[in-house]
């Protein structure tokens, strides 16, 4: 196994989406799936534990809120990028996520 792959954590409360993203990441030779989470608390814990380069995170999950989770991840895992996913495209949510450093 290559050690130079991009480490990724996937966080989504929808099991179908979570597994689809995990399968997609697993199929790419330059990516390494290092953690899965089903809520915001788990997303932060997984990021701190696994030190990924990328966290792919659903905005709307239980046990926390996305802006706080993004801030916590970026503070505790310097250099980690958070890619925010949402089925809801309202302007306020998008602006809030960008303001805290999500992509």
Write down all domains in the chain, each with its CATH number in brackets: 6-99 (3.40.50.2300)
Sorted by sequence, the CB contacts under 8 Å of residue 100 that are 6+ apart come out as: 67, 70, 71, 74
Q: Output the pTM of the full model.
A: 0.90
Residue 1 has a pLDDT of 55
9-45 burial code (b ≥16 CB/10 A, e <16)? bbbbbeeeebeebbeebeeeeebbbbbbbbbbbbbbb
Reported as a pLDDT band with limits 50, 70 and 90, residue 2 is low
Distance separating alpha carbons of residues 51 and 62, to the nearest angstrom? 22
For 22-40, how does the pLDDT look when each residue is reduced to its tens digit (9 = 90+)? 999 999 999 999 999 999 9
Q: The tokens 């790419």 sit on which residue?
A: 28
């Amino acid at each position: 196994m290559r050690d130079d792959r991009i480490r990724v954590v996937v966080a989504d409360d929808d099991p179908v989406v979570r597994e689809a993203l995990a399968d997609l990441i697993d199929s790419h030779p330059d990516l390494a799936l290092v953690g899965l989470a089903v809520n915001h608390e788990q997303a932060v814990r997984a990021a701190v534990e696994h030190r990924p380069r990328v966290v792919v995170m659903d905005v709307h999950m239980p046990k926390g809120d996305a802006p706080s989770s993004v801030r916590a991840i970026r503070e505790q895992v310097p250099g980690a990028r958070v890619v925010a996913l949402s089925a809801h495209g309202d302007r306020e949510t998008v602006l809030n996520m960008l303001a805290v450093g999500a992509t």
